[in-house]
Amino acid sequence: MARKAGLFDLRLVIAVLFAIYGVVLLVVGLGFTDEADLTKADGLNINLWSGIGMIALSAVFAAWATLRPVIVPEGGEGTGTA
């Protein structure tokens, strides 16, 4: 009987990490960016844009992991054959 490897799918780990990073940067970019920060990055609100990019990356991995879950075959090939 096959089961889903829901607890430890690397794609979900990536999705969660970049969701955290993305939201933090988005909030910093929207609410806590002063003139000095903008001047440093040549007028770009780089925190805001990077945050949006990371949230998008997170969404892609979450969608991939949801649409194509890992199926672990019971006693599958290659495990414990040492």
Partner 1 sequence: MPVLAQVDLRLDAGPLDYTLLAVYFVFVLGIGFLARRSVSSSLDFLLSGRSLPAWVTGLAFISANLGAIELLGMAANGAQYGMATVHYYWIGAIPAMVFLGLVMMPFYYGSKVRSVPEFLRRRFGKGAHLVNAISFAVAQVLIAGVNLYALAFLLNLMLGWPIPLSVVIAAAIVLTYTALGGLSAAIYNEVLQFFVIVAALLPLTIVGLHKVGGWDGLVEKVTGGPGGSEQLSAWPATELTGIQNPVLSVIGIVFGLGFVLSFGYWTTNFAEVQRALSAKSMSAARRTPIIGAYPKMLIPFVIIIPGIIAALVVPEMVALKAGDDSGGVVYNNALPALIGELLPNGMLGIAITGLLASFMAGVAANVSSFNTVFTYDLWQDYVRKDRPDEYYLRVGRLATIGGTVVAIGTAFLAAGYGNIMDYIQALFSFFNAPLFATFILAMFWKRMSAAAGWAGLVAGTLGAVAVFVLAETGVLDLPGQGASFVGAGVAFGVDIVVSVAVTMFTRPVPEERLVGLVYSLTPKEDRRHSTTGDDAGWYRSPVLLGIGVLLLTAVLNIIFG
Where do contacts with partner 1 occur on this chain (CB under 8 A)?
7-8, 10, 13-14, 17-18, 20-21, 24-25, 28-29, 33, 36-38, 40-44, 46-47, 49-50, 53-54, 57, 76-82
- Separation of alpha carbons 36 and 18, rounded Å: 26
Q: Which helix (H) or strand (E) holds 23?
A: helix 10-31
Q: Which is nearer to partner 1, 1 or 78 (CB)?
A: 78
Smallest separation, CB 2 to partner 1 (Å)? 12
The structure tokens 């990073």 sit at: 21
Closest CA to 33 of 54, 25, 23: 25
Q: Which helix (H) or strand (E) holds 66?
A: helix 46-67
Q: Which is nearer to partner 1, 67 or 78 (CB)?
A: 78
Smallest separation, CB 48 to partner 1 (Å)? 9
